[in-house]
Chain A
Amino acid sequence: MEHKLDEIFNAVVNGDADAAKLNVQSALMDGMDAERILNEGLIASMKEVGRLFEEGEYFVPEMLISARAMQGGMSILRPVLVEQDIQPIGKVVIGTVKGDLHDIGKNLVSMMLEGAGFQVYDLKTDVAPEKFLEAVQTYQPDILGMSALLTTTMNNMKATIRLLEEKGARENIKIIVGGAPLTQAFAEQFGADGFAQDASQAAALAKALMDGSRG
């Protein structure tokens, strides 16, 4: 059975979506526990991808195809997880702020969060504060993630946080921000709970915030 997990792990790390799907299917048919496939196969492999990126061995294209492979494996596994009522480790709403159409960073963060075991609701780009609020009220996420690539749009992060505060929706969520013009100082100024420099750090930060929330 262990070698099945290795095959899933290697398929994701190597960015082979077909192999990831096949090996997840095969492991399920062999009777392997779905949660084990998730944690020791898919999530473990994306953690390795994150490490390879941090170490400078993987770059954005490698991360993208690994994430694609992970999503392929998840597409086979998800129905089983739902059937067994296995919950994600948390829920995240994510989007690029109003006026901003850049999405590569946000897409990578979405993929890494999914690879870390989160359920992700991606609002895409040009997301107004009102739309973030609506999504927070609808999905009741643990974390809200906002991305901006322009100095002129990043202030919409502050506007979104203010709106959430005004409507009483700020208290029960953690907010993380990221994007090229962002810094830790800006994140604090806007009232966010965290700032991530890249997608790998974003996933680690989200997990740390969840662990902190559980106390």
Chain B
Amino acid sequence: MRTRFGDFILNSSPPLPMPVGVYAGLEITGDSVRQAVTEAQSQFRAVMALHERFHTPVMLTAMDLSVEAEAFGCRIRMTEDEIPSVIGRRVTNAAEIKALPIPAVGSGRTAVSLETARRLVMAADGTPVLGGVIGPFSLACRIFGVSELLEISLTEPVVLIALLEKVTRFLTQYLSVFCDLGVHGVIMAEPAAGLLSPRGLAQFSSAYVKQIIDAVVTPDFTVILHNCGAKLVHLPKVLESGAEIYHFGAPMNLAQALAQVSSEVILAGNLDPTGVFFSDTQAEVIARTRELMQIAAGYKNFIPSSGCDLPPHTPLDNIAAFYETVNGSMG
């Protein structure tokens, strides 16, 4: 289904730059990561600061893959300056999965994500707003334990499926609430699915993402599927999810991916957020961005972006270099 956000992308010339990163805005506001992930007002200010500084064509809420896991009861480690991480395992076997309650939308910090999105929509002045959520397989990993879940994907798939069904029900409800807020869509992050074989990815990620997409996507609300670990070999199975837009990381061969997908499918990515945005010099960012634009030359169905979330303390000058290069105003 073509959505208003998809139209917005396809009708843009030159391509619209959309690095994924809210934490860089904290360099401007001076708030901590802890504040941004626990206070909607802080996260809102970070997004607006980036929007004002770089005239961002899209506004994104923060990528924080602990939010939904925390709502399910996972223990979280939170520090001032790091994106929160999940500690331990919430469930470890079939019985515990069966007993695991599905949280209400708005539980824990899902309320922060939703409130941030709501404030952005109110302030947006026509700029599209995208929310951020985790994908079903990646959420299941955080609840069960990454290594353990990857193993049972081969040894006890029935147990994994039971958990996937629960998280999918929650995510469907969660995305519906985002939709009701008036955002243009969400970026759904499924990084753990990139660790699976193509067949495993199809069975344990795409199938459930598709269920969510079929339930929530409307002409006004899109789902952008982010998988920063996926490689070209995964592409056909990732596409089975039926998303309108796919956001890939550095491991994806973007040139070949663009050649393989139909013009109806929009791809985004994929400059390395740490290797390029965080670590490189401004001149190197310009050079890598130009290479990316050359790869995508002639394709309207492409969004130049980072391959994943920009880490905290990413130099603002590097982000500026990226925007200016894509917009064509640098040499």
Name the distance in Å between A104's Cβ and chain B's nearest Cβ.
5
- The answer to whether the Cβ of A122 comes within 8 Å of any Cβ in the partner chain is no
Provide the residues of chain A in CB contact with B233, threshold 8 Å: 56
Name the distance in Å between B195's Cβ and chain A's nearest Cβ.
4
Provide the residues of chain A in CB contact with B311, threshold 8 Å: 150-152, 181
Q: Is the interface of A mostly helix, strand, loop or mixed?
A: loop
A181 vs B279: C-alpha distance when bound (angstroms): 9
B82 touches A59 (CB 8 A): no
- What string of 1s and 0s marks CB contacts (under 8 Å) between A86-110 and chain B? 0000000000000101111001000
Interface size on B, residues (CB 8 A): 28
Name the distance in Å between B200's Cβ and chain A's nearest Cβ.
6
- What string of 1s and 0s marks CB contacts (under 8 Å) between B124-160 and chain A? 0000000000000000000000110011011100000
B155 touches A152 (CB 8 A): no
A152 touches B312 (CB 8 A): yes
- What string of 1s and 0s marks CB contacts (under 8 Å) between A204-215 and chain B? 000000000000
Name the distance in Å between A6's Cβ and chain B's nearest Cβ.
22
Name the distance in Å between B68's Cβ and chain A's nearest Cβ.
17
Known: A62-B197, A180-B274, A183-B279. A101 touches B155 (CB 8 A): no
A59: contacting residue among B79, B197, B279, B313, CB under 8 A: B197
- The answer to whether the Cβ of A15 comes within 8 Å of any Cβ in the partner chain is yes
B85: contacting residue among A56, A101, A104, A181, CB under 8 A: A101
Closest to A152 in B: B82
Name the distance in Å between B167's Cβ and chain A's nearest Cβ.
18
A101 touches B87 (CB 8 A): yes
B275 touches A59 (CB 8 A): no
A59 touches B200 (CB 8 A): yes
Provide the residues of chain B in CB contact with A56, threshold 8 Å: 231, 233
Known: A15-B154, A181-B278. A152 touches B81 (CB 8 A): yes
- The answer to whether the Cβ of B169 comes within 8 Å of any Cβ in the partner chain is no
Provide the residues of chain B in CB contact with A102, threshold 8 Å: 85
Interface residues in B256-289 (C-beta closer than 8 Å to A): 274-275, 278-279
Q: Chain A residues in contact with chain B, CB under 8 A?
A: 15, 56, 58-62, 64-65, 68, 99, 101-104, 107, 150-153, 180-181, 183, 185-186
Q: Chain B residues in contact with chain A, CB under 8 A?
A: 77, 79, 81-83, 85-87, 146-147, 150-151, 153-155, 195-197, 200, 231, 233, 274-275, 278-279, 311-313
**Known contacts A151-B278, A180-B274; 14 further A-B pairs (Cβ under 8 A):** A56-B231, A56-B233, A59-B196, A59-B197, A61-B150, A61-B196, A61-B197, A99-B82, A101-B85, A104-B146, A150-B83, A152-B81, A152-B82, A183-B275
